[in-house]
Amino acid sequence: MRILNLFKVAYRSLNRNKLRSFLTMLGIIIGVASVIAMLAIGEGSNQNIKASIASLGTNTIMIYPGANFQGGVRAGASSIQTIKLEDAEAIATRCDLVSHVSPVDQKRVQAIYGSENWGTSCLGVKNDYFTIRSLTIEKGSGFTTSDDRAAAKVCVVGITVVLNLFGDENADPVGQIIRINSIPVKIIGVLSKMGQNTFGQDQDDIIIAPFSTVQKRMMSSTTYVNSILASGISEDQINDAVDEISSLLREKHKLAPSDDNDFTVRTQSDISNIFGTISKVMTILLASIASISLLVGGIGIMNIMLVSVTERTREIGIRMAIGAKGRDVLIQFMIESIVISFVGGLIGIALGITVSELVAKFGGWPVVITLSSVLLSFLFSAVVGLFFGWYPARKAAALNPIDALRYE
Amino acid sequence: MADSENLITVKDLTKTYRTGDIEVHALSAVTLNINKGEFVAIMGASGSGKSTFMNILGCLDSPTSGEYLMEGMDILSRDKNKLAELRNNKFGFIFQSFNILPRTSAQENVELPLLYNNKVKANERKEKAFNALKSVGLADRVNSMPNQLSGGQQQRVAIARALVNDPMVIMADEPTGNLDSRTSYEIMEIFQKLNDKGITIVMVTHEPDIAQFAKSNIVFKDGKIIANNPVKERKNATEELKKIAALTAEKATT
Ligand SMILES: Nc1ncnc2c1ncn2[C@@H]1O[C@H](COP(=O)(O)OP(=O)(O)O)[C@@H](O)[C@H]1O
Ligand SMILES: [Mg+2]
């Protein structure tokens, strides 16, 4: 009965001070919404990075020349040449834990068809490359081992290359001859669309040709290769496969036990760890921005509450003069604060989710709303709202009624 | 009315304010009896301790030392919650500055004490508040907001609020201090009617003509009572108002 009366009192008070109630709520709404949206964006890109790294295949092993990996960053290693084609062949024949191997040569090239001209990247790979990266052919066919042996002037192209040379993604270029760095090459297939990778690179902007075609006709060296891509026979034994490859290459490169490797073997999980760290940093960054907005929201709540303390202290004085107990005043203020925090929090959650969805829809940015971000921001705002509602009220309720009435 | 029925007894009441090194003796050893049905006007110069005394009587403030009995019960030993109950159902307060809640209708202002009174049921509240407003002549202004009411009307809302829990005593601190004389007389008319019904009234005022409506006058000086006399020629507010009406009518014709 008494508590019901206090609900009535609190409701009337909120209703009477609509602007103050709204401004207090606004702090909570902004705090909650921005935390939810920021963390959703952070978590979204986090998971996106993980997914696109996983899509490369967790079983993949990369072998680069040079050993200058420092904290996951390779320092200017592209000019070093230590890996030979025969290394790839040796891995294929002698490493039991490796199932597929392909040497990879990569070169920036100019592709020409008729009057169209397009700068793109040309990869020279063995057939295994398609298996390792799970690439599929959309139209036409891939090249064969005999194409590779004969250094045949054939290639498969990505959809972006088709678009730029033939003017339409849906054009059928199979059978057409294009010129790659002036060499006439026949398109025998089109790759299935892959879209952008994590870093916004267009993975369809590519030409893939047999390894020997690229090496003999486009590269300066026929001995060394850019890198080797391999896959293990199973994910569980991937680290053993790495050891196997390393000892084989050390042997082939005739390295003394005291020498460092002149190559680097990386697995997919090494790489996802690196990017995991990067995206963790990003999440922390977003989270700190978000906590600043929570703080700002909290300060907003605090300001409104403190500014209204004078008015509210008099009100408390009036209430006490006509018979309100300290407890009644506190309960009333708590109810008011709970209602404001709750309603503000709910609106904030709705707004945060809406903003996240809009970012996903119009920004093309992946978002993932986590329960923890919703709970965290809601709790924080609720605590701030409650505290700044309760604290001045507690102080006022402890005063003599006459001092509260005279408060200035 | 027999003066045997003692309502309030205070003995050696002192109140000392300390600001830094300076001590202000707002009350020094005040002793007084107030009987049931009294209408006391407390007079004296500004700063003489009238408000301090009244606030202590009304349990809004506590004395530095002294005794305070109400109907024989010791008031000063009671805890805050008991005092709040006392303020709620035994006292009604009226202040110079009205002290009604802003942006709150007359009706809701008057309902307020009822919301803190467990004995009043929800369905009785509206009617009780309306009756209180009717008794001060505001039956037609129940939904008005304070900013839509004149000073006199706001003070009547405050009186209705003080009456709504059927108090034994009304404590009024300069109730007419912000009002013109005609409106002041109207308030005194209400007070006299309430007093006729048996409600004890303690009123602070520094206006001698307002004090003439009370039954007795107490004079404060420097925190002490220097005089306590019955009013010899007590004025009747209803008649005073008639005189004023006659005067204004006369002026209007000339
Ligand atoms: N809260 C206070 N702090 C310090 N001094 C006060 C306080 N309230 C009143 N006083 C002092 O006590 C004395 C009596 O004040 P008050 O009872 O308000 O007088 P009155 O109502 O007769 O004008 C005055 O000197 C005043 O300055
Ligand atoms: Mg005073």
**Residue pLDDT, tens place only, A276-305:** 787 778 878 887 887 787 788 778 777 877
d(C-alpha B68, C-alpha B62), whole Å? 10
Distance B82 CA to ligand 2 centre (A): 26
Q: Are the C-beta atoms of residues B61 and A400 closer than 8 Å to each other?
A: yes
Among A315, A322, A326, beta carbon nearest to B161: A322
- A94-125 pLDDT tens trace: 999 999 999 999 999 999 998 999 999 999 99
d(C-alpha A294, C-alpha A289), whole Å? 9
Choose the weakest-confidence range: A284-293, B158-167, B176-185.
A284-293
C-alpha atoms less than 13 angstroms from C-alpha of A345 in its C-beta half-sphere? 20
> B113 to chain A: which residues are within 8 Å by CB?
322-323
Interface test with B, best of A8, A315, A322, A400 (most B CBs within 10 A): A322
- A332-344 pLDDT tens trace: 888 888 888 889 9
- Cβ distance B61 to A8 less than 8 Å, yes or no, reads no
Smallest CA-to-CA distance from A388 within A347, A345, A341 is with A341
What average pLDDT does the structure give for chain A? 86
CA distances from A268 to A155, A201, A229, A231, A235 (A): 27, 18, 11, 10, 10
Q: Give a yes or no: residue A356 inside a domain.
A: yes
- B13-40 pLDDT tens trace: 999 999 889 999 999 999 999 999 999 9
d(C-alpha A398, C-alpha A401), whole Å? 9
Q: Are A94 and A140 in the same domain?
A: yes
Nearest CA to ligand 1 atom 24: B47
Q: Give a yes or no: residue A70 inside a domain.
A: no
Model pLDDT, residue A45? 80
Q: Which residue has the tokens 């202002």?
A: B109
Is residue A202's pLDDT more than 50?
A: yes
Please indicate if any CB of chain A lies within 8 Å of the CB of B64.
no
Model pLDDT, residue A55? 66
Q: Give a yes or no: residue A187 inside a domain.
A: yes
Is residue A73's pLDDT more than 60?
A: no
Q: Give a yes or no: residue A267 inside a domain.
A: no
d(C-alpha B41, C-alpha B55), whole Å? 14
Is residue B148's pLDDT more than 70?
A: yes
Q: The domain containing residue A305 runs over which residues?
A: 3-52+274-406
Model pLDDT, residue A198? 61
Pairing of strands B216-221, B39-44: parallel
| Per-residue 3-state assignment (H helix, E strand, C coil) for B221-233 | ECCEEEEEEECCC
Q: Are A126 and A194 in the same domain?
A: yes
Please indicate if any CB of chain A lies within 8 Å of the CB of B28.
no
Atom of ligand 1 nearest to the CA of B204: 21
- Cβ distance B104 to A12 less than 8 Å, yes or no, reads yes
d(C-alpha A315, C-alpha B103), whole Å? 12
Helix (H) or strand (E) holding B237: helix B237-253
Among A314, A321, A324, beta carbon nearest to B93: A321
For chain B, which residues make up each domain, given as ranges? 38-60+85-253
Minimal Cα distance from A16: which residue of B?
B103
Out of A220, A252, A284, a domain closes at A252
d(C-alpha B205, C-alpha A401), whole Å? 21
Q: Are A225 and A99 in the same domain?
A: yes
Q: Are the C-beta atoms of residues A269 and A238 closer than 8 Å to each other?
A: yes
Q: Give a yes or no: residue A381 inside a domain.
A: yes
Q: Which pair of tokens denotes residue A166? A: 């033939």
Which tops the pLDDT comparison, A72 or B87? B87
The fraction of chain A above a pLDDT of 70, given in percent, is 95
Q: Are A140 and A184 in the same domain?
A: yes
Distance B41 CA to ligand 2 centre (A): 13
d(C-alpha A399, C-alpha B9), whole Å? 25
Q: Are A113 and A184 in the same domain?
A: yes
CATH code reported for the domain at B38-60+85-253: 3.40.50.300
Choose the weakest-confidence range: A257-271, A297-311, B205-219, B229-243.
A297-311
Q: Give a yes or no: residue A94 inside a domain.
A: yes
- A131-158 pLDDT tens trace: 888 889 999 999 999 999 999 999 999 9
Atom of ligand 1 nearest to the CA of A402: 1
Out of A190, A220, A252, a domain closes at A252
d(C-alpha B91, C-alpha B74), whole Å? 16
> A401 to chain B: which residues are within 8 Å by CB?
60-61, 87
E strands along chain B, which residues?
A: 6-19, 22-35, 39-44, 65-70, 73-74, 91-94, 169-173, 200-204, 216-221, 224-230
Q: Give a yes or no: residue A77 inside a domain.
A: no
Tell me the ligand closest to B46's alpha carbon. Answer: 1
d(C-alpha A204, C-alpha A157), whole Å? 8
Q: Are A147 and A181 in the same domain?
A: yes
Please indicate if any CB of chain A lies within 8 Å of the CB of B85.
yes
Pairing of strands B91-94, B169-173: parallel
Q: Are the C-beta atoms of residues B194 and B144 closer than 8 Å to each other?
A: no
End-to-end, the C-alpha distance of chain B in Å comes to: 46
Please indicate if any CB of chain A lies within 8 Å of the CB of B19.
no
Give me the count of residues in chain B.
Answer: 254
Model pLDDT, residue B2? 46
How does residue A77 score in pLDDT terms, banded at 50, 70 and 90?
very low
Model pLDDT, residue A199? 65
Residue B115 CA, chain-centre distance (Å), reads 21
Span A244-271, mean pLDDT?
Answer: 87
d(C-alpha B94, C-alpha B90), whole Å? 14
Q: Are A231 and A311 in the same domain?
A: no
Span B119-137, mean pLDDT?
Answer: 94
> B118 to chain A: which residues are within 8 Å by CB?
1-2
Smallest CA-to-CA distance from A305 within A403, A386, A196 is with A386
- Residue B224 phi, psi dihedral angles, 5° rounding: -130, 150
Residue A357 CB burial class (10 angstroms; 0-12, 13-18, ≥19): middle
The residues near A51 (Cβ < 8 Å, ≥ 6 apart) are none
d(C-alpha A244, C-alpha A159), whole Å? 37
CA distances from B177 to A56, A154, B151, B172, B206 (A): 86, 105, 10, 11, 9
| Tally of domains within chain A | 2
C-alpha atoms less than 13 angstroms from C-alpha of B136 in its C-beta half-sphere? 28
Which tops the pLDDT comparison, B19 or A385? B19
- A23-72 pLDDT tens trace: 888 888 888 898 898 888 888 887 877 777 766 667 889 898 887 554 44
Residue A173 CB burial class (10 angstroms; 0-12, 13-18, ≥19): buried
Distance B190 CA to ligand 1 centre (A): 29
Beta bridge partners of A230: A61, A101
Choose the weakest-confidence range: A267-276, A317-326, B11-20, B26-35.
A267-276
Q: How many C-beta atoms lie closer than 10 Å to residue B248's C-beta? A: 11
Q: Which pair of tokens denotes residue A293? A: 């907005």
Q: Give a yes or no: residue A291 inside a domain.
A: yes
Model pLDDT, residue A8? 87
d(C-alpha A265, C-alpha A152), whole Å? 31
Distance from CA of B210 to the nearest CA of A (A): 25
Model pLDDT, residue A56? 65
Model pLDDT, residue B183? 94
d(C-alpha A404, C-alpha A408), whole Å? 9
